[in-house]
Amino acid sequence: MIRKRQITTLIILSLLTFVACKKETAGPKGETGATGATGPAGNSNMQVQTFTTSTSSWTINTWPYNYAEVVFSIPAITSTVVSNGDVRVFVLDGNGTAWQALPYSFLSSQYNFKYKIGELIIDNTLYNNAVPTNPGIQQFKIVIVPPGFIKNNPDINWNNYSEVKNKLGEN
């Protein structure tokens, strides 16, 4: 008797399982939901530019010290960037495999930079203050960082190009 009841219960459960798993047709499309909250500010105002110098790009100066200089006109360096944002500069290493943050020193040569509204100036000097040879062809990557991006990303190491590139989603 108990065995018969167990078999009957098993059959009923099996039938209910098959009936419950029957595929039904989709109902009508519902109304559009409410707009979600605004996300954090992105990098829409971030600018990354690459410049390649030539021998004629550089000026050799001997006063007040000896240095080679190149000046880039960059309208994206605005008064807002100068007062509350940032500009970062990287030079492609001699092997063409890695971007190095400026200031950058290699052997007796050093690259430094400064910027003002609309301009970026890169200097090349030698440790012994000798007149440097013309640096010629060099590649520089300039990252112009708006104030809002700095505020929203206080943990970025701006001297590490890989970290900056990853945060910006650059290739």
The confidence band for 36, taking pLDDT boundaries of 50, 70 and 90, is confident
CA distance linking residue 82 with residue 119, whole number of Å? 10
State the pLDDT at residue 12. 63
What's the chain's average pLDDT? 85
pLDDT in tens, 53-66: 999 999 999 999 99
Q: How confident is the model at residue 19 (pLDDT cuts 50, 70, 90)?
A: low
Instruction: Name the strands in the sheet holding 86-92, side by side, starting at the edge strand that comes first in the sequence.
Output: 47-52, 139-145, 86-92, 99-101
- What is the rounded CA–CA span in Å between residue 164 and residue 168? 6
Q: List all residues 6 or more positions away from 159 whose beta carbon is below 8 Å from its beta carbon.
A: 88, 101
